[in-house]
Each structure stands twice: as structure tokens, then as C-alpha cells.
Structure 1
Amino acid sequence: MVALFLRSRCTNKVSQMQVLQKLQDKCSSNTNRSTYPAMYSSVVGGIILDPAMMVLPIDDHMVHRGHGVFDTAMLLDGCLYELDAHLDRFLRSAAKARIDTAPFPRDALRSILLQMTAASGCRKGSIRYWLSAGPGDFLLSSAGCPAPAFYAVVIAADYDQCRDGVRAVTTSVPMKPPLFATVKNVNYLPNVLSIMDAEDRGAFAAVWVDDQGYVAEGPMVNVAFITPDRELVLPAFDKILSGCTAKRLLALAPKLVDAGLLTAVATRNITAEDARRSVEMAFVGSGLPVLPVVEWDGNPIGDGEVGQLMMALSDLLWEDMKSGPDRIAVPYSG
């Protein structure tokens, strides 16, 4: 029955207008129109407001070879948070992926992202953007791609500070080697499989532990610990992605040292054994920004409750997102 259905459906030739109608019907039947209010595509050379038109060429090497990098920035109260830090990492990733950034100078990328966000009218959510080797052919080498491509999208979302704790598990999905882990690239299959592994086991997310027994990171987040001596420790960034939010947390955390709540702030290798003895634990990432972890592999972290120190760190980051110096006002019209 399935084979007959596929044969009958796949032999149909559709016109340009039929394709457009199908795409528009699909978008009208879900929440895409309100969730994705704007996209930029260098392929078409402008901002797209119709979700039905938010498409990529099938021969783009990011699509069929994974030759692309991406990054993000949170949008809160009409301001983009830490956009410059994310753009800097974005361009470092592109350089390591050997994607030509000459057609897209940093200032041009920044301007495009601000204009796209303004055109969307969205004031809360996030933006995500990609730099690809570009469309051209279906070969492995990108030598046949005439030019790189830049894509971006606004994602409308209502979010708030995380105050409830979650469960974490150690995943058996292999880690990326450092060369790929330290580049924010589109090859996210290990990340996808690790989060699916966690969900299958009733947890929010997974934690990678390397072959030497050191804690690495989560699938889209860094991991933070409060030791019994009240020291904030994050795993060193030499073999994992250097999280912009994690680095901002490290910059803000000394305020709690000055207040006598923390004794020190550090990044270093920490074994899973030592990490499990922490009194508090959290995932740290752009969309959280701090998410307390109260249980790891079925064992409580500390007393198994959301800790005061992680919430104090969360308050620092949340306040920084709302009124700190790394906010860029979006130039909305009207």
C-alpha cells in the first residue's frame, strides 16, 4: 500500500504555482507564520517575511555536506544580547571551517541581523544565523561553489528565567573531537543523539564525560558546578565549545565572591567523580541562561533541591540580559 502510494504521488509533476501553493498551505496549517516572522537569505539578497519562502537551495553544501557554521543571540525587550560576542565566535568558526567570509564583513553581518530583526517586529525570542560554503553542486569539495551563503532567521518565543531544577544523565554517545567540538558547526548528530538518549531516560539533557574521566559539556550547553568549598567551577574550554553565556557568567560571578557568597571562580578540568560531590550544578547556555540540575544519573546533587548560589548566578545573568552593557537596541520603525 505504501509503495503504491509513493509511486502514485512521486510521478506527479508540479508547476511553480502548485509548489508555492503547497508551501503556503503548509505554513498556514502550523505556527510558522508567527514563530518565524523574518528571514534573511543572501541567495535572494534580502529579507523574507513569508515563511513559505524561507527555503534553502538543495545543492547548498551546508545541506548535503554539513559545510557550514552557525551562531545565535537572544532577543529580550527589543534588544539583542551579546550579539558582538556571538558574531566574533561565528567568524572564528567560519575561519576554522575554511568558509570565505570576505563577501560578508563583520559590520555587514551585524547590520543585516539588526535590520532583519527590526523588520520582524519581534521583541522577544532569538535569532539564529548560518554561513555556508554555498550552493553549487553535490560534490564533496566546495571548490565548485561560486560564493558562500549567509542565512538568518528570527525565532519568536516567550521565555523566562529558569527556577525549577532538572535531571541530567551521562551519555554514552561519543564526544566530538576537539577540532569539531570547538567550532560551532552544523554537524550536530552527536548532540541530537545525546539529547534523545537523555529524553529516553527521562532527563532534560545529557552530560559528556571524556575518556579521561573529565566532565566536558552538554549537547548545547556548558556545565557549571559549586564545590563543597563554594567555588564556582566550569570545565576548561580547550576541548569543548567556548560558550558566550558561560564566559559572561565567569565575568559576573566575582560579584558573588565580593559579597562573600562564593570563595572563588575558576575554569579547570574536573573529574566526574569530583563533580558529583558538588553541592550545586547547572546547565549554562544562551536560552536558559542558568538551568539548575538537581539530579545526575539518578543521584541528587547536594540536597536534591535548587540551590541558592546557582539562583544568585542566574539572577546576575538575567539582570545583565535586561539592563547590562552587552545589549544592542534593535532599530524598529514606528
Structure 2
Amino acid sequence: MVCPQVLRSVAFRSIAVLTRAPFPSSGAMASAGEKRKLAVLDRESFLEKSKAARQKRSSGAAGHFIKAMYSSLVDGIITDPELMALPIDDHAIIRGHAIFDTCTLAGGRVFRLGIHLDRLFKSAKLGRLKLPFGLSEDENRSRMTEIVCQTCVASGLRDGGVRFFLTAGPGNYGFTPAGCEPAFYCTVLESSKSEDLKAIGEATVPASEVPMKPTLLATLKSNNYLLNCLLAMSAQERGGCYGINIRDDGTVAEGCVANCAIVVDKVFITPPFDGILAGTTVRKAMDLATKHLVGETKVLREIRQETMRKEQLFSAQEVMMLSGDLGVSPVSTLDGQQVGNGEVGPVARELKRLIWEDAYDGKEEHIQLFYS
């Protein structure tokens, strides 16, 4: 680490150098400006350059992982990646005034859209966002369901991820959305989720390093994921994946996009949703575990939602991260220490099986799609 005194000394010397340096003549400035002159692009030139830049990012791949996008601003679906864009004055970009949620496309059926729309509408109320399709929640729910289904079909995918956004919309560059048109966007993308169950290494990250979100932002699904990203980055630098945020009082919070759960003496424990997101996957896991895994001769005897301390993570037989409708990630090492016997545990294995079967064979939370 560089001493702060040295940094200040370097800064002062740099200022001195800049002060002594002669100011460039107008001719020199013009010459420099000519060398860096930027093209003013027309529509076709922009689209051509945009495609070249995208292919460079994706090692020359012709397609894009996002296969279809709906925008309420044009009330239509787009499958050309170069046209999948938001207006630069959308408040999702300039102020972060936006929310999102997700669901899953599983075997040509939309899975668990209802519970995710429930959370979207709750987030919209907390975020003071206007609904885009009339005043009533029922009207918006019906329209959004229709949009999600049609965008999935337009994508051509039978399996994938769905992510939809509600923003304050475009209209000004100010602080409030006065005069803006609320916008709804839906994207359907390829997914790497698999029926296979793979253990991960994980790491704890103290709130002193990456602070917890304030309660409002933690309990609604805001587009502002800066702290989530920093948590994942810190965890991955330690050999982890999602990261497990530890509060200043030593209690367990959540991962960057996942809830944490442990198994201790056949008891499944996950923290209460106090100051963290009420994850739909951990709620599904608790429901399925209660129905199928609890009993005298089964892998669990009890399900609890209670305060969990950091030290419990290291004494647990199983630690797992739950996210993204289908995601069950058993943790084999935590902060470099082996968890349990270091292998995938029976509860994680059974939960993965039950969740996957529910997504692909269940009938309660599905919308069948019809492809031409």
C-alpha cells in the first residue's frame, strides 16, 4: 500500500508540473482536435458500427444472448440486437429510478410469473413508479402476462430466462419523473441453468467492507445493484461466488443475488426477510421441503426462518445458496474451510430435484406457450 503522504507529495508535484507547462497554442489544439475528430453517424452507420462492436465483445458470434425484447414505448417486440435499446433520458439510466423482476422459461412454459409480478407491483408501490398500462394492477398484470408470453414465443427459446423492467421512463433529465412516460421492457435470454448439481466455493464479506443496502432498497427489487456487484466482486477475490454479507453484529444477511440456507442436525434454517430480499426461490424451497422432506424417516425434521450467525455457517452440515427459480448451489468450502464432508449434501440434492421437477413437470405455476 502506498503511504498517503507519498500520494499527496506526488499530487503536489503533478500540480506544479501542470502549472509550469506552457499552455498549448490554438493551432496546436486545432491540430490535436483534427486527429481525434469523431464521426457524426447516420442511422445506417450507427447500426453497422454497433453490430461490429457487439461481435467484437462476443468473439465474433453472429447472435446475441438476448433473443427478444419488448418495449412499451413502441409497443412491439424486437429480435434484432442492434435495436434493443433504451432512450438515453430514461430515468432507469439517468437516476436509477427503476425496478425489475424475473421468471423462467422451462420446456416451453412460463414458470412462476405470478409470484414475480406480485413482487414487481410491491416494488412499484415502494418505488413510487407509475404503472404503464392503465391505473389498475389487474389491467397491468393481464397486459404484462400477455407481453411476457408473446416475447418468449418470439425468442424461439423453449428454455431460458425472462427479465422485465418497470422504469420511470424517458421525458426529462431532472430528478423526478414529472412529464415522463412510464416504460415496461421485457427481455428473453439464453440460460446456462442445468439439472446438474455442482458445489461451489463461497466466501463471507463483512458489511464493513461492502455495506448492507438500506431497508427500502433491500426489500424492493431495484435496478440499483451496485452493492450487489461489489459483494460478488469481493467474494470472488476470496475464492467465492455470490458472497455472503455479514452484518456488523455477526448475523448472516444474503448473497448478491441469492438467499443463504444451512442444515444443522436435520433442521433447515434461513434468515428472516428483515432488511433483505424475500427471495422467491428460497420460499419455494421451504414450501417443497415442508411437503416432501420433513418427517421421521426423511432428510429433515424441521424448517426454520430465524436469525443466523456467521459461526453457524462453519458448524453446519450443509450450506447452500438459492436463487433464480431453479438455482440450488451447495457450498463445499467457505472462506477456504470445508463445509460438512465437502460434498453435495442430501438436502441440497433433494431440493434441486424437487425444484427442477416442479419447473418441468408441475402444473400449478405454469403458462403453456404455443409456437408456430
* Unaligned stretches of 5+ residues in structure 1: none
The whole-number CA distance in structure 2 between the counterparts of 1:248 and 1:307 is 19
Aligned residue type for 2:105: L
Instruction: Give the structure-1-normalised TM-score.
Output: 0.93
Aligned residue type for 1:289: G
1:313 partnered with 2:354:
no
| The one of 278, 283, 304 aligned to 1:247 | 283
- Report the CA distance between 1:27 and its aligned residue: 4.3
Over residues 106-126 of structure 1, what are the superposed CA-to-partner deviations in whole Å (9 max), with x where a residue is unaligned? 111111000111111111110
1:161–1:289 CA contact under 8 A, matched in 2? no
2:241 alignment partner in structure 1:
204
1:189 alignment partner in structure 2:
226
2:69 partner SS? strand
The whole-number CA distance in structure 2 between the counterparts of 1:333 and 1:281 is 40
1:284 alignment partner in structure 2:
322
- Report the CA distance between 1:139 and its aligned residue: 1.1
2:285–2:355 CA contact under 8 A, matched in 1? yes
Instruction: Give the structure-2-normalised TM-score.
Output: 0.84
- Report the CA distance between 1:32 and its aligned residue: 7.0
2:42 alignment partner in structure 1:
15
- Counterparts in 2 of 1:303 and 1:121: CA distance versus 1, 3 Å: same
2:28 alignment partner in structure 1:
none
Higher Rg of the two aligned structures: 2
The whole-number CA distance in structure 1 between the counterparts of 2:337 and 2:285 is 26
2:246 partner SS? coil
| The one of 155, 176, 197 aligned to 1:141 | 176
- Report the CA distance between 1:161 and its aligned residue: 2.5
2:252 alignment partner in structure 1:
215
- Counterparts in 2 of 1:15 and 1:182: CA distance versus 1, 3 Å: same
1:79–1:327 CA contact under 8 A, matched in 2? no
1:241 partner SS? coil
2:102 partner SS? strand
2:13 alignment partner in structure 1:
none
1:233 partnered with 2:269:
yes
- Report the CA distance between 1:274 and its aligned residue: 2.2
Aligned residue type for 2:44: M
Over residues 172-201 of structure 1, what are the superposed CA-to-partner deviations in whole Å (9 max), with x where a residue is unaligned? 311112211111101000011111111222
- Counterparts in 2 of 1:323 and 1:302: CA distance versus 1, 3 Å: same
1:163 alignment partner in structure 2:
197
The whole-number CA distance in structure 2 between the counterparts of 1:266 and 1:101 is 36
1:302 partnered with 2:337:
no
- Counterparts in 2 of 1:11 and 1:308: CA distance versus 1, 3 Å: same
- Report the CA distance between 1:252 and its aligned residue: 0.5
- Report the CA distance between 1:6 and its aligned residue: 8.8
- Report the CA distance between 1:5 and its aligned residue: 9.1
- Counterparts in 2 of 1:69 and 1:14: CA distance versus 1, 3 Å: same
The whole-number CA distance in structure 1 between the counterparts of 2:223 and 2:331 is 27
- Report the CA distance between 1:317 and its aligned residue: 1.0
- Report the CA distance between 1:202 and its aligned residue: 2.0
Aligned residue type for 2:49: K
- Report the CA distance between 1:314 and its aligned residue: 1.4
- Report the CA distance between 1:204 and its aligned residue: 1.7
| The one of 17, 30, 42 aligned to 2:72 | 42
Aligned residue type for 2:199: G
